[in-house]
Structure 1
């Protein structure tokens, strides 16, 4: 059965009836989409594809990290530990949107109705410092549905979590959820921090580890111990080859850890990772060639250089096009489009596409050979 057939059959008769009524009256699948501009007159920033929510508190964690404590609206459907979501807020009449992992546990949301997102202030950034200041006294934001596959694997396979900097946030959610739910799988966290003052959630992690024999936490002070190495992992977690290795942090750290653990015999199937930032472009240099890219709707053709590859989104923008885009790191899917022919590399997953027609994300796709896009 095709994906399209599955989608149609998953719609209930009542939902089809609602869509028929809405389309008959408004030419929209949902009446709320038709009414959205009118509702925004009363509730600025309201949207049909996100949930109006309230920021309760801004809690400082370190000099450059803070936590937003948020009460999602009733329509929000919850999340799995490790997932991320989109927060949107109004700044001087325009909407600002960013993606962050939920750093609290689903059990905490179930108990309190609250979620937490822990955010590092980006040097020179426009949004991360503004969010902290704008919500100092609380306020209204919009939350998207939670998404993402960087979650605890099914079953009881032991896990090794390797975090760097603000990449700790999904692991805080996972370990807190394990503690709350009684998950007995063996979990070991190696958390690399710049120095002792940047050891986020240290007391919380140490308390979890002290109360649960199956959870261990090791703080790695980079100022004293240096960056991740094979010697570190062999000393701290000698049975790492038997574990699912989960990595989250800055791009250079993820690349280093992947290289080291792969060299030590961990298979690609046992390595999970999530970038906090744009994924690197890694073309096979032996096969890399310049590619001819046709943006059909825009009436533009461009050459993608094999020596200095950029994403299809950047290539489109360099040539005067303005395709819809949001996060630019492969999370929000706003830049999804149809590739009509050619092969692209997804820099987020490392997977190559087929040659035929399929949906791709412009921001994380790099042409490998000549490509035709419905853009």
Structure 2
């Protein structure tokens, strides 16, 4: 995402939240009283959660050999709130007695939820992963999961509704774009959109038939399918062959996919003269932290409340969340890629680099996301 973190001092409600969390931890060793009570309630009602909503997994649909879609029916309160096309949801389930949290983009449209009461998550199996292979097996016949409220800023802005849009997707990074395009179709949108979609080979394009039908149903929508085996990775020549002029300032661009593809696309667009302000992007995976401006030597991090000292090395930069967990601390976290905001923590002093926004903070107090913050100087945290 491209919006910087605010450098303003935390609001009064934020101070109350910090105080209440400290009070809860003092009495229960948990950040919330509900976290302490929840296991007791679950003895009578398994999978009950005071924080999350519940959803039934109705079906599991195989898209490719390593991609599947879960069709879920959320509880009525979640469905009534709805979501915006392009947003995520955190899926929480229990594996071998341990609660697992994973964040996935919603691949269906808000209109689909309004009409059916259902929504879909399309998930790529990480072959060496601990959770995604298990999800495919565990929910092959349905089941029950907890889900978070929808979140995320990678969405279409009503203010940009009249501007033409280029979507660049890689692999399963297509999922938020599927949601957006389906919503445009349902609302009979007139916005000009071109989708440039990359996959490993011709068998890996997700929802290809849907998009090809959409070119017939929406005259203002056009599609370019590229596979690495035949066309190679994204390159300048591919952009030049598109049926549009990137130098026309009214064109907006959105990119979603693996980290290397996004880095390459952003650089190619800069080389083509496209202003960064016209480009919105979202990493499917952790943002890169190997190039942090101004990072030298070692940085010392003081975790004030836990009286713990951490050390970061410029040669192998790590997020503050990783550093804290390696020291045995257990800060609240969720997606680990900067979208769910569960790991927000008060920085009392010091400078950090946000790997998601590419912004460097000032040296004063502010709230930061631990999972995407790398210390640039010595830092003091309210942790």
Q: TM-score, normalised by structure 2?
A: 0.87
Q: Does 1:337 align with 2:350?
A: no
1:212-234 per-residue CA deviation (whole Å, 9 max, x = no partner) reads: 01111111111111111111011
**Where does 1:220-259 land on structure 2 (aligned, <5 Å)?**
220-242=226-248, 243-259=251-267
**SS at 2:377's partner residue?**
coil
**SS at 2:239's partner residue?**
helix
Structure 2 unaligned regions, length at least 5: 1-7, 16-27
**Where does 1:129-278 land on structure 2 (aligned, <5 Å)?**
129-154=133-158, 155=160, 156-242=162-248, 243-278=251-286
Q: For 2:113, which of 109, 133, 137 is the aligned residue? A: 109
**SS at 1:196's partner residue?**
coil
What is the CA–CA distance in structure 1 between the aligned matches of 2:294 and 2:107, rounded to whole Å?
41
Structure 1 unaligned regions, length at least 5: 9-26
Give the number of aligned pairs. 356
What is the CA–CA distance in structure 1 between the aligned matches of 2:9 and 2:334, rounded to whole Å?
29
**SS at 2:316's partner residue?**
coil
Task: Tell me if the contact between 2:287 and 2:372 (Cα under 8 Å) persists in the aligned partners.
Answer: yes
Change (3 A) 1:42 1:120: same
CA RMSD of aligned residues (A): 2.4
Task: Tell me if the contact between 2:152 and 2:340 (Cα under 8 Å) persists in the aligned partners.
Answer: no
Residue of structure 2 in register with 1:84 after alignment: 88
Change (3 A) 1:40 1:286: closer
Bigger relative contact order (CA 8 A; separation at least 6): 2
What is the CA–CA distance in structure 2 between the aligned matches of 1:144 and 1:118, rounded to whole Å?
16
Q: Does 1:64 align with 2:66?
A: yes
What is the CA–CA distance in structure 2 between the aligned matches of 1:366 and 1:237, rounded to whole Å?
40
**SS at 1:99's partner residue?**
strand
What is the CA–CA distance in structure 1 between the aligned matches of 2:36 and 2:302, rounded to whole Å?
34
Q: Does 1:352 align with 2:354?
A: no
Q: TM-score, normalised by structure 1?
A: 0.89
Measured after TM superposition, the shift of residue 37 of structure 1 is 4.4
Q: For 1:73, which of 70, 75, 79 is the aligned residue? A: 75
Runs of 4+ more than 6 Å apart = 5-8, 30-35
1:3-30 per-residue CA deviation (whole Å, 9 max, x = no partner) reads: 746999xxxxxxxxxxxxxxxxxx9xx9
Change (3 A) 1:33 1:327: closer
What is the CA–CA distance in structure 1 between the aligned matches of 2:375 and 2:149, rounded to whole Å?
30
Measured after TM superposition, the shift of residue 131 of structure 1 is 1.1
